[in-house]
Structure 1
């Protein structure tokens, strides 16, 4: 299996190179990895030459979502070990996906940010030798056999944080691949898992409480911090849009085409409600089509300007506001009374916690069961899954038709999120950081 694994890694790297001329993400990954190890080795030699005895913490995230999970850890480490102090720790951040690296390659709290070189034995040895980590932190998943082996050989500690395991995954299969993947995760020193079920599953394959800690999910820490910081940030255009509104405002975050199809039907059925929509992909033609098909007076956020004296009046009259820019959504949720989270008709729903932390009941599509927090929100009665437009319309009608219950649902959602914060501190205390 080890031989087949290494062959598959090389075959995938070749496939990326062949796809690069035709596929944007493949092209970004191919370009980012070209000559990467030489650049890393030069940069790391320079860093260690500039500061003797540096201690490095390597944090790896598959993509942007995992970065948001790992971010509270990075921020807590940097706060405790700041630059310029005797206790300083160098932080090296890596990404597998271009969607993470390209957006966060200038993240200021990391000392170095790289694509992760392909997991071949030679690449892993060179990377670990260059970075010299004392601790490697893998966020949620991505169990690379050669990197974990290289870390073990180098004498570095390794752990996974905010991990979740399910019985139908490869680790619990009784075949050659299952055995190989159990060997792979066996190279980790510690597992910090989201829930008791994950701990029990790991226990069933030989990983006991001395290596497995139920710490919770660091995303709760992240969304609480986001809400607390956003509360102090003014959003005058959004405030103008919701000013004086009597009916509940619905905020629709990270929506895709199938989400927008059922939301359009809801907009037609509820003309008295205002909607804020933040599409996942900011395609201008698609956004214009969304506004046109809604039959509403809609406005794009980026078309508002401070020099336009009529913008405030336009927003008061509009019933659809499209957030066509990145970085605002987590703060926009506070202006709604209920939320719809996109992705549930595709690969899976996006971040429900960003909305719930503001005290909002949440709706989403049918593909949510892989997300523990969504399952728990549904069980609490503060979230609901809908399979189509008719179910969405019926659920919204029931919720907004009982304002007191809607408010109670929202309050329970907010309490749920804040009651589960604290994973970051548990993890860092256990690691002695």
Structure 2
């Protein structure tokens, strides 16, 4: 209790720093200045009706929630959904995926503001995606008798070590949750060690997300722009990775192959374009909406919401965030499109999925950027192996579906 009181006292003191941070981020991503009133609790949601509130911090969690929301809509057809995020890209993704829901920012975890938010919304329950542990949010729900659930929950060893340093704050918050639906047995064990109440292993909703048909059609159109040239996609790359990949690409004998770079964060599009041009590599942008020129060596995926189309267009896909110590982005999306997957050494955010994909033959690991490019080029010249890896990826995804229905069944036990 004392730890949460201290935590709550720090939020009003931190508010000027948060405002400074948002203004600084807005220099590269102006959307950080939009809906400012929501972030600080001055524009509260409207309650009324049967409200299910789901919080997903950013793009990955927002996409992962889609099959769960669809399953909930079938179970509770009269429910009204409120979806909250913390990032502009997450909010834009939610507005695209959930046109019938109310989409807004979650206020920062100020105790007074969070109590007002919960009182205004009056939800039937709140679902926190993956690792969204906000102590004052959870406490406000507990005080208002609103059941709070942690769903599609994951906790890496690295995160567990960090949370243990603030266990006096986090463990009481976990104890106020009504139930926890974990992605894997390892996640459940780590969450239980931190104090979560009897986590139940339900699987990962990301397996339930199927590639949108419109994105697959767009992928075919993008592939036509290649003019038959082989394509290596480096998807959701993080700061520092593009430079390593570009150096390795420049040093290799790539023939007529094309490198498609899709940075994880849109505010880095210009930075990555500059990295390409500094190396003298011929660059073309997806946003120019033109077929690839014969001399183009690097294609920059500077668009939002088209990752599935990029996977559908690619011959081989490397998953960003795994080359440097970021823990990797979502490899399941690539596998669900039947494209061979390459992973770097850092996969702690998707440890189980990575291990299962490797075991299934859907993915290969690479130690560094040079090996990444060499392995990709070898695959680009080996159509039978690419086909076998792609089929293995489709089968791997199909085997692990069903998490969304299991989570809804768990929620129904408590909400009835």
User: TM class by shorter-chain length?
Assistant: 0.7 to 0.9
Q: Please point out which of 338, 357, 366 is paired with 1:359.
A: 338
Query: What are the ranges of 5 or more consecutive residues in structure 2 without an aligned counterpart?
Result: none
Matched, 1:192 2:177: no
TM-superposition CA deviations, 1:34-53 (whole Å, max 9, x none): 6853421xx516xx3xxxxx
1:32 to 30, 36, 40: 36
Q: Is the 2:131–2:155 Cα contact (8 Å) retained in structure 1?
A: no
CA distances 1:266-304 after superposition (whole Å, capped 9, x unpaired): 3542114233333333634742662684645x5333223
TM superposition score normalised by structure 2: 0.83
Q: Which residue of 2 aligns with 1:238?
A: 222
Task: Specify the alignment match of 2:172 in structure 1.
Answer: 183
Q: Give distance in 1, aligned partners of 2:307 and 2:194.
A: 41
Show the counterpart of 1:371. Answer: 350
The structure with the largest alpha-carbon Rg is 1
Matches within 5 A, 1:223-234: 225-228=210-213, 230-231=215-216, 233-234=217-218
Deviates more, 1:254-263 or 1:211-220: 254-263
Give the equivalent residue in structure 1 for 2:236.
254
Match of 2:52 in 1: 57
> Residues of 2 paired with 1:184 and 1:266: CA distance?
47
Deviation at 1:321, TM superposition (A): 3.7
User: CA shift at 1:259, angstroms?
Assistant: 3.1
Deviations 1:290-330 (A, max 9, x none): 2684645x53332236xxxxx5xx55775544332222221
With 98-107 and 161-170 compared, the bigger mean Cα shift is at: 98-107
List gaps (5 residues or longer) in structure 1. Answer: 49-53, 82-86, 306-310
Deviation of 1:123 (Å): 1.6
Question: Where do residues 385-400 of structure 1 align in structure 2 (5 Å cutoff)?
Answer: 385-400=365-380
Tell me the secondary structure at the aligned position of residue 348 of structure 2. Answer: coil
Q: CA deviation at 1:105?
A: 4.9
Determine the structure 2 residue equivalent to 1:147.
137
Task: Output the CA distance in 2 between the equivalents of 1:425 and 1:8.
Answer: 39
**Deviation of 1:186 (Å):** 0.8
Corresponding residue of 1:308: none
SS in 1 for 2:36: helix
Cα-to-partner distance string for 1:216-272 (whole Å, 9 max, x where unaligned): 1111112xx2255533x2456423234545xx5322222346333343333542114
Distance of 1:166 and 1:236 partners within structure 2: 36
Are 1:323 and 2:290 matched, yes or no?
no
Partner of 2:286: 301
SS of corresponding position for 1:430: helix
Q: Distance in 2 between matches of 1:300 and 1:96?
A: 28
Structure 1 residues 108, 358: CA separation in 2 closer, same or farther (over 3 Å shift)? closer
In 2, the alpha carbon distance for the partners of 1:261 and 1:276 equals 13
Please identify, of 373-382 and 125-134, the stretch whose mean Cα deviation from structure 2 is larger: 373-382
The alignment partner of 2:83 has SS state of: strand
Instruction: Please say if 1:266 is aligned against 2:249.
Output: yes
Q: Does 1:290 align with 2:273?
A: no
Sort the Cα spacing of 1:98 and 1:335 in 2 relative to 1 into closer, same or farther, 3 A: closer
Which of the numbers 205, 225, 230 marks the counterpart of 1:218? Answer: 205
Of stretches 93-102 and 350-359 in structure 1, the one that deviates more from structure 2 is: 93-102
